[in-house]
Structure 1
Amino acid sequence: MTTPASSCRLAVDTDDGIFTVTAHQASTYQVRLGDGLTTGALSSHLDALASHLKVTEIGVLIDAGVAENHLGNITAAVTRTGLPLRIIRVEAGQDSTSSDSLNTLIRALPPRPWTRRTLLLAVGGGSVHNLVRTAAGYLQGLPYALVPTTVQAQIDAGAGPDYGLAADRLGTPYPAGVYVDPTLTATLPDQHITAGLAEAIKVALVTNPLLFATLEKSTGPRPAGPVLTTIVCEAMGSKLLLRALNPQRELLQRGHCVGGAYTAALRYRIPHGEAVAVGVAVAAAHAFLSGQSTLEHRDRILDLLAAYRLPVAIPDEIRNPVWAFVAAPGRLRNGYLRLILPLRPGRCAFTDDFDRSAFDKAVDDLAARP
């Protein structure tokens, strides 16, 4: 006996008294993108979403730094819905994904029993979004929506649960809505703009050579206005398509071991995008040195990273700590390390042939560049 997966939430096969059950969970949500969205249509979008979800209040969880520039517009948009508003500020940075921050958020929400009638609206960067996603899972499906305020978060927000305090392992639901307004990034320092663009470069290398070409044409003044909107839209769309194709989700979630190790060696004191850039640079150097890519393609990748003033080299004083963090997952996998190699824009490959010697050669190759 077999029940088709398309007609029910569970597909069940039976054979010799053994039941094989495949559970399917479908989530549908809209990602809306537009310049000036938060000062224009956001209110009507939230009103429609609140009506659909039958929520009775909106809790705005906002990055304390972001609140200085954007809380007024967000508050005005929520107030126009006519629903009660609760504002919860959290400190920016990696610590906002800690258990202490999660406890602070939960204490600020209405007491149990949970009725799922509070819509959480997360306003800020990726760490704030991760905090809300984790809380939503912990609170058994409390609805939430995202308003990303950094380039990195805007590219990532539409793709659903990913990282954080245990993210998917807590059964984190997908957002009820995502509202992307590239003009919110205008108040960011240049370092945070370019750090976010490192994610766009990574996505372009995996799947979108036209986006890579757009990024190459936009390296003068920092991208803004329609140019930045195009970059965010293309990168976000490419990432969504990759996540929709299960065989290729791995390209976004695994194999970027050097970037994470670089961040850890620096004790998380740098923007995530700068770590992404270093990871891409090491992978590009290894692709060239192992004969899987050409000097022309290696230089094209490294030149673009450098044009956005992103780091591409690993200083000698942290080389050993970085490798220690790179090698740690391998010890859990019997020495198995997997690295994604950018061969050229739009094409990547996996390699298992990446040891300390290969790492040192790649680091030396990057240090030798003028």
Structure 2
Amino acid sequence: MSEFAQLTPRFSRVVLAGMMGSGKTVVGRKLARYLGWPLIDTDAEIVRRAGMSIPEIFAQEEEAGFRVREREVVREIAPRRQVIIATGGGALLSEENRRNLHEGALLVHLRAEVSTLAARLRDKNDRPLLDGPDPAGKLSEIYRERAHIYERLPVQVVTDGRAPAAIAQEILAHLFSGQAALNEDRFSVQLGTGALAHLPERIAQHRMSPPYVVLVDRNVLRLSEGWLRGALEPVLKQGVLIPVRASERSKSLGAARRLWSELHRIRAERSSGIVVIGGGVLSDLGGFIASTYKRGLPLVLVPTTLLAQVDAAIGGKTGINFGGSKNMVGSFYLAKETLLDPLFLLTLPARQLRSGLAEVIKAALLDGAGFFEFLEENLEAVLQRRLDILQETVRRAAEIKIRIVLEDFREESGRRMLLNLGHTFGHAFEALSRYRLLHGEAVAIGLVKAAQLARIMGLSGPELVERIERLLRRAKLPTRAPDFSPEAVLSQIAQDKKRLHNKVNLVLPRRIGQVEVVPLDSDAPLRQVLSK
């Protein structure tokens, strides 16, 4: 495992505290899964050791007996490292427990309104402290007694109306703040779990000036608002935040015109920084805006999807859709800074994560057997969002894209065209589906078609197709094309931007780690593979 995959937490353990019903166990499970650390729930451990439920312990030993058992458990588990500890609601009432849990720990209070807690606990019958005719009133009373302790904890995270993954993401932003340079030649790419925290200093380093413009995917803002706004606070004090809908329809001349108008309204200068936070749509659109307004404003990209982190946000391609084709109007324009933070991937919808894996698998086919084997061994951990594996996956795929871009930035030597592996077919399927297929889903099918075509043309054997298909299926990506006619697909391919001298130029794999550009003199091989 590389140095980048060795996550270095700022604390040796995470301690979750808060009222009953605040979500400590549920959030703790998420944290444990993302970190690969064990979760210890102090209440569950007390029950296990006692061989009795909590109501039974209270009935036989009263609360005082339960607290004795609780102190024993805390005393034993507190020194453990790389562990998540979910404490009982009253555990921090004990000064001894507070002292034992404090050293080296990230102490987090999961906050929730009493009404939220009451709703979560409505059907629970294992909370003896709430026994009686008015459990909601009792809950309010308990909260008032404990609030002064909870509110002194260094990290306060609101849980009302939020998904456990988003809560875990915000906690992990306090646990990590790493960054390391993947590239600083012509453009800077920084990777690190928690790298978003370094955004203000990176903006300052590139000597950008206000007013700043922050374009952000509406969904990302909704899911990660607390964490995002905290990191962006120094920037937004001297700038504006513009939520953008992440849809291919947003990549239009109309959307571009509206954003140009906003830049004009706030009197953006040529040194004003544009920060783009989102996936591939935002990277394409935001980069296009930055490249065209006043002939170029400094650009910072913060990609939030796997696909954008390993592909769309690296390499300087910008564009909007025109004439029914993707990215038909655009430019080559390098961002001053690209920050790759795997924490964004924790709240990424599962389908989007899988879509990004298609670009990762493409990168592995370009790179060689080592990366492909890494994915074969660790794919389930990626799908489970293990942070160390996610970070290593992003590192490897991003470095491949960076290396090729540095060799052939403007696609003059043909080297960069290798990144088009799977995309000639993929773009056709994507367009014919009217973008119901996600980009990565279409590319996954395109990778299979490219491998099948290579086999038909005698460039590779059947084992390559089988191995690619097997990994894509494990990633829960489609491997079979929708029922489009060969004529419809060929018509789309005829519009491909990589067409040269009236020939279709396809990137085909000979073996893992060896791909090449093959010009086709005839449509016959394409028709054959499209009929499969």
Give the alignment's TM-score, normalised by structure 2: 0.58
Alignment correspondent of 2:87: none
User: How many Å apart are 1:332 and its aligned residue?
Assistant: 7.2
Secondary structure of 1:109's aligned partner: helix
Secondary structure of 1:309's aligned partner: coil
Q: Which moved more, 1:264-273 or 1:76-85?
A: 76-85
Alignment correspondent of 1:352: 519
Alignment correspondent of 1:78: 232
Alignment correspondent of 1:4: none
Secondary structure of 1:147's aligned partner: strand
* Equivalent residue for 1:216, pick from 363, 369, 376: 376
Alignment correspondent of 2:367: 207
The separation in 1 between residues aligned to 2:228 and 2:498, in whole angstroms, is 47
Secondary structure of 1:160's aligned partner: coil
Deviation per CA, 1:306-334: give whole Å up to 9, x if none: 11121121233444322221234599756
1:286 maps to 2:453: yes
Alpha-carbon distance change, 184 to 269 in structure 1, aligned in 2, over 3 angstroms: same
Alignment correspondent of 1:238: 400
Deviation per CA, 1:248-270: give whole Å up to 9, x if none: 11212488311111111111222
Alpha-carbon distance change, 254 to 313 in structure 1, aligned in 2, over 3 angstroms: closer
User: How many Å apart are 1:217 and its aligned residue?
Assistant: 1.3
Deviation per CA, 1:160-215: give whole Å up to 9, x if none: 32141288976553112111111211112221111101001111112233211111
Q: Which moved more, 1:351-360 or 1:134-143?
A: 351-360
Alpha-carbon distance change, 59 to 313 in structure 1, aligned in 2, over 3 angstroms: same
Alpha-carbon distance change, 331 to 51 in structure 1, aligned in 2, over 3 angstroms: closer
Alpha-carbon distance change, 164 to 170 in structure 1, aligned in 2, over 3 angstroms: closer
* Number of aligned residue pairs: 336
Deviation per CA, 1:7-55: give whole Å up to 9, x if none: xxxxxxxxxxxxxxxxxxx9833211111222xx32xx42342354240
* Equivalent residue for 1:66, pick from 212, 220, 241: 220
Secondary structure of 1:60's aligned partner: strand
User: How many Å apart are 1:122 and its aligned residue?
Assistant: 0.5
The separation in 1 between residues aligned to 2:215 and 2:498, in whole angstroms, is 39
Q: Which moved more, 1:100-109 or 1:329-338?
A: 329-338
The separation in 1 between residues aligned to 2:516 and 2:240, in whole angstroms, is 47
Alignment correspondent of 2:438: 271
RMSD of equivalent CA atoms: 2.7
Alignment correspondent of 1:50: 204
Alignment correspondent of 1:146: 301
Alignment correspondent of 1:36: 194
Secondary structure of 2:224's aligned partner: helix
The amino acid that maps onto 2:407 is L
The separation in 2 between residues aligned to 1:199 and 1:77, in whole angstroms, is 28
Secondary structure of 2:435's aligned partner: coil
User: How many Å apart are 1:112 and its aligned residue?
Assistant: 7.7
The separation in 2 between residues aligned to 1:352 and 1:325, in whole angstroms, is 17
Q: Which moved more, 1:201-210 or 1:72-81?
A: 72-81
Alpha-carbon distance change, 321 to 178 in structure 1, aligned in 2, over 3 angstroms: same
Give the alignment's TM-score, normalised by structure 1: 0.82
Identity, % of aligned positions: 29
Alignment correspondent of 1:118: 272
Alignment correspondent of 1:302: 469
CA contact (8 A) 2:422 2:447 kept: no
Where does the alignment leave 5 or more consecutive residues of structure 2 unmatched? Answer: 1-183, 322-326
- Higher normalized contact order (CA 8 Å, seq sep 6+, divided by chain length): 1
The amino acid that maps onto 1:260 is H
